[in-house]
Structure 1
């Protein structure tokens, strides 16, 4: 059986894959004849071939034929040719764009098996726990039948179970959890507490959602810290007196607030400072900026509620209270101060990484989605992945009707209800997509007034959501859902629905990205089913108010409409597209800007984590610390005795104190005379050598080595946390300084590097200081014991 080969650009891209699919098909008859044992023996045979120098691409045809046959026997599912195509695209580290309902879950079974044969692990990444468990239980059966181990990585499992999951040949899990494990692995106190092994190959399901939509917010591990109550209260009252436009600006498009020059001057006057941008005032500037954000960006009963004297955050996508969640880096405390509440403990960043930089650590990254073409450039630029469109197994019968654009919200809902009533009367199932829970409740209210019964999906539980979405194709069913609800679950149409035109999808607003509109449309007409889609929208919608306000004011008077408020002017569709393009551009710039800032941090993170790993893995930590700090006494001398000073100007008394902080047998300098810095270094050298000789005597004492390791990790972790906080504050200052015509990225890289150098100098000094204290304490105890 061969697949259709339409002549278009996509088929040219797919040409080399088609040839391989035909070869896999030619093998099918041979594999059908194999017994279960013979089929299972293929795994050992492939592993041997790889050990003898063959590559995964050399054995791809046989490996895919093996998985297809195993799937038929274990699950009763035979991979379609288009699924084999998708699997081959993934194997090369690209994105297979496949329509909803084309069986992406089964596609992943092919490359994950083949790459797992290399013995280095494969991560199959989904958007939530439910899908990870479901896919592991279903597809995992194929791999286990073929002799591979399959693990599951979800939040809340023990270190031991996590380690087992990561040691498995194939590990299913949630994207954010893999990222958090990476951060946690870099805060452990012992090497055997780490759970991950080196990255090898990842397959990301709903790849656009994970790598683009979730990439706005970094992954952060935070710890508690007691904030200064007074600082947040004072800052809150200061920003209360500031005026919009005069003292601060608010960009509704970017949702960003910043002080103006005038605002900065007022703050400096209030606190009696010359320059709020000085590094020593960075904590105050940070607190003022958070107070301003709390005042302008966070609205009570929209973004948060106050309950029992506590701030509780509201999830904008689901409209639910996010129990136990708080904003980090003082923003939560700033909102508490605004509401006159007692400050709770502050979430301080201990470790963080952006989604982009986490996934770029995989040597090979691949993904699947129904919608990625519109973000093809970003995916190629940031992740090096090409998007390859896979044809559907059966011709696509979906009808996408043109948008209906109304003048007002009221007119939109009136037409929406009319449309639902007419189609419902015929029994046609309808799925209504909304942009938020707030909007889904407005739609529900409009249907209530007409006594229409519906299922409202507001993500109370993902399992329930998946079940309800699956039922959305049954006769007479009306389902209201947020656009992302139930992603990853197929909607099967019920009996008699085909004659009624299949599932009809109505979008109630254009989304901030065309890609999300396409995801909603993709809910209809799976696997050759009929179906239709239409957006019923209004000029009052959020997209236009937030991203195209000026354009809207200019165009609105020119639009003509009928008596129902439906805009009949053709150019309204161009306006809708323009607003969406502006929105996509804003979001891309935001991600791009943050990624460029983060790239500087990423290089620093690698160095700090490598140092940490060296300490964890070191057999002789005292020897390791010696290598890190042996030049420190000379650096201290150079700092005190600069080239532009005469020897008689040197502060030998202070230098002696500094050296006494890090050396067990410090030199006495005050009574000596030196003609130059080399003489001084030569004089100090015997003290440094004696210091290291004393330390060397303790190298075979396990207890001392363990204490030194613990102290070293404490030093790095403490100073790295402090460094992250300084970088965050520097980032904020950079945003404000953009008006000075400086390139913020270059400024951040330059100043961030200076901060990093200072942090590393501090790490060296602290290691030396604490090691001296540790050994001195042991010597004192030994002397006490002798005296007794």
Structure 2
């Protein structure tokens, strides 16, 4: 795990960076002590290991919807996966206006150093003539390396990565201005249009901030909803004035940028997923605008090292090609796309495999959540609890009478002692029946009748509160046992792959063992619930109540649950100043005398 690639350290916290979007994932933590290890490495406070309360894969989460559909500009490369997992076809809709962007072939360099030098030279060349440039990098580290190289040359630019998360929309909106240079990690800020010549709405809002308008007033002024105060009406009028003024400038700048060739996209590395490369490329050439794109690659890049960089390196050496001399050919671009397809295929197989395992958990999840819903929706659980009691008795009768069909050979004392330990009162059941007529069903009925009698007695002691107690106890037991079960299934999943060495399909083994473990889970939920309810006592009206197990994740940037409050600076009262209480005395002789 590398700092500023897989995670960032912010406000004394380790925050995970999403590898696909480059955005920070507040509230998410690595499991199995990995997050704690990173916290120790970075010298920040080591937090407690978080407990998994629930788990689901994205695929099964999406499949819970009755209708599934989506719209994106980059779905075609993932067509096979959409069809295999969701049963969705991918339909390509023609662009609204003709696509006139020029996509140049990839340029390949021997070393990463030579590649970055070439990228900087390309940026300088296009910046000189005023063409806006958007550079895509794979990691925060690479974006900062490139930024430092540009600073040395005195080229003004903007950096957009997880470190500048809050300003991402504002930065990306102005990437199409004349002479703008923007460096972005994995194209964060995708909800914003890059308009050639600049985005007039963002510029108008920025102007209003400079004029001293509050953020909530600007938000109302730039919206379209009805306004209920004179201040907001005036603010909207001012916003419209500014917008019209700025639009004249941006339209003029738009024409200039179009003549310069539109937005120029530079990719500093090919990503494992072609989809992300296409998302970067797709930022240029919107709505019939002109644009260009080019990817720079070195033989030291991760993707190239995985797929055939040695062969190309040998070829370059045999041709006597220098480090800073590039190779550019459509065949090489095709080869790189093939390598990406291979990686995507591997990743798809991994996701498919994960889904096969999660399908086992998914069936169990549906059953458990169905039971929880009964509790949460306030169903009367009395009969449900008594059915549990009957199931426990039946199960134990089967265990203690197994191995013989003759009642005199059954271990009835062992059965009763076990049930006394679980929930029944000591010596409350008397099996005073002629062994000749006794069968398993009769034995179950005798014990069950006594269990019902004892439960009714408990209900009379507690009164009408018993219905709510049933719900609280069952909810608590289900949640506790389910969390343990998730951990156990996860441990099983980690070791089950070794079964393949014994010529056994790990997925089938996982299903078999998972089924047995789920049966044990159901049995333990029944036994724990019944045991609690039969032994519960309420003292001093101390009613058990439902608790929220999952606490909300902090959404503010500091990571605290509390919303940030403005800092109010209080005026300090001097010792010789008049006392603020209004007595007319000096502060040191009045309220400040004891301080």
Q: Which residue of 2 aligns with 1:573?
A: 333
Distance in 2 separating the partners of 1:444 and 1:340: 27
Q: Name the residue aligned to 2:176.
A: 473
Find the residue that maps to 2:504 and give its secondary structure.
coil
Is 1:509 aligned to residue 266 of structure 2? no
**2:62 aligned residue (359, 372, 377):** 359
After TM superposition, list the pairs within 5 Å mapping 1:485-564 onto structure 2: 485-494=188-197, 495=253, 496-545=256-305, 547-548=306-307, 551-559=308-316, 560=319, 562-563=321-322, 564=324
Q: Name the counterpart of 2:479.
A: 717
Residues 551-604 of structure 1, C-alpha deviations (whole Å, 9 max, x = no match): 323442124474433125765334322321222122111211111110110111
Give the equivalent residue in structure 1 for 2:125.
422
CA distance in 2, matches of 1:527, 1:400: 16
- What is the deviation of 1:738? 3.4
Q: Determine if the alignment matches structure 1 residue 704 to structure 2 residue 466.
A: yes
> Which residue is 1:456 aligned to?
159
Contact 2:138 2:271 in 1 (8 A): yes
Q: Bigger CA drift: 569-578 or 312-321?
A: 312-321
The residue number in structure 2 matching 1:312 is 14
C-alpha change, 1:393 and 1:319, in structure 2 (3 Å) is: closer
Pair 1:685–1:644, CA change in 2 (3 A): closer
Q: CA deviation at 1:633?
A: 0.6
Q: Structure 1 stretch 651-660 or stretch 325-334: which is displaced more?
A: 325-334
2:402 and 2:517 map into 1 onto residues whose CA distance is 21
Aligned-pair RMSD on alpha carbons? Answer: 3.3
Does the alignment pair 1:628 with 2:388? Answer: yes
Give the distance between the partners of 1:570 and 1:413, measured in 2 at CA: 21
Query: Which one has more relative contact order, counting CA pairs under 8 Å at least 6 apart?
Result: 2
Mapped partners of 1:607, 1:319: distance in 2: 36
Change (3 A) 1:675 1:444: farther
1:475 deviates by 0.6
Count of residue pairs brought into register by the alignment: 476
Residue aligning to 2:531: 769
Mapping for residues 242-641 of structure 1, pairs under 5 Å: 298=1, 312=14, 315=17, 317=19, 326-333=29-36, 344-460=47-163, 462=165, 464-494=167-197, 495=253, 496-545=256-305, 547-548=306-307, 551-559=308-316, 560=319, 562-563=321-322, 564-567=324-327, 571-641=331-401
Contact kept in structure 2, 1:561 and 1:568, CA below 8 Å: no
- Tell me the SS of whatever aligns to 2:101: strand
Give the equivalent residue in structure 2 for 1:282.
none
- 1:364, distance to aligned residue in structure 2 (A): 0.6
Partner SS for 1:748: helix
Query: Secondary structure at the residue paired with 2:472?
Result: helix
The match for 2:591 is none
**Offset at residue 718 of structure 1 (A):** 1.1
Larger Rg: 2
CA shift in 2, pair 1:522/1:561, >3 Å = farther
1:177 maps to none
Contact 1:312 1:322 in 2 (8 A): no
Q: TM-score, normalised by structure 1?
A: 0.55
Which of the residues 687, 691, 702 maps onto 2:451? Answer: 691
Contact preservation (8 Å) 1:561, 1:569: no
Greater percentage in strand: 1
Deviation at 1:620, TM superposition (A): 2.2
Q: 1:368-427: per-residue Cα shift (whole Å, max 9, x none)?
A: 111101101211221222222122221111111111111111111121112111111111
Cα deviation for residue 681 of structure 1 reads: 4.9
DSSP 3-state at the match of 1:353: coil
- CA shift at 1:480, angstroms? 0.5
Gaps of 5+ in 1: 1-297, 782-788
User: Structure 1 residues 644, 565: CA separation in 2 closer, same or farther (over 3 Å shift)?
Assistant: farther
Mapping 1:48-197, distance limit 5 Å? none
Distance 2:280 2:23 in 1: 22
1:321: how far off?
A: 8.5
Distance change (3 Å), C-alpha of 1:704 and 1:558: same
**Superposed displacement of residue 465, structure 1:** 1.0
Instruction: Say if 1:299 and 1:390 are closer, same or farther in 2 by CA, change over 3 A.
Output: closer
Q: Cα offset for 1:449?
A: 2.7
Task: Give the aligned partner of residue 295 of structure 1.
Answer: none
Superimposed CA distance per residue, residues 452-488 of structure 1 (whole angstroms, 9 cap, x where no aligned partner): 1111112445552112111111111111101221112
In 2, are the aligned partners of 1:502 and 1:531 still within 8 Å (CA)?
yes
Cα displacement (A) at 1:739: 3.2
Q: Which stretch shifts more, 421-430 or 334-343?
A: 334-343
Any unmatched runs of 5+ in structure 2? 198-252, 542-595
**Deviation of the 1:643 alpha carbon:** 2.5
| CA distance in structure 1 between the aligned counterparts of 2:357 and 2:469, rounded to whole angstroms | 37
- CA pair 635-338 structure 1, distance change in 2 beyond 3 A: farther
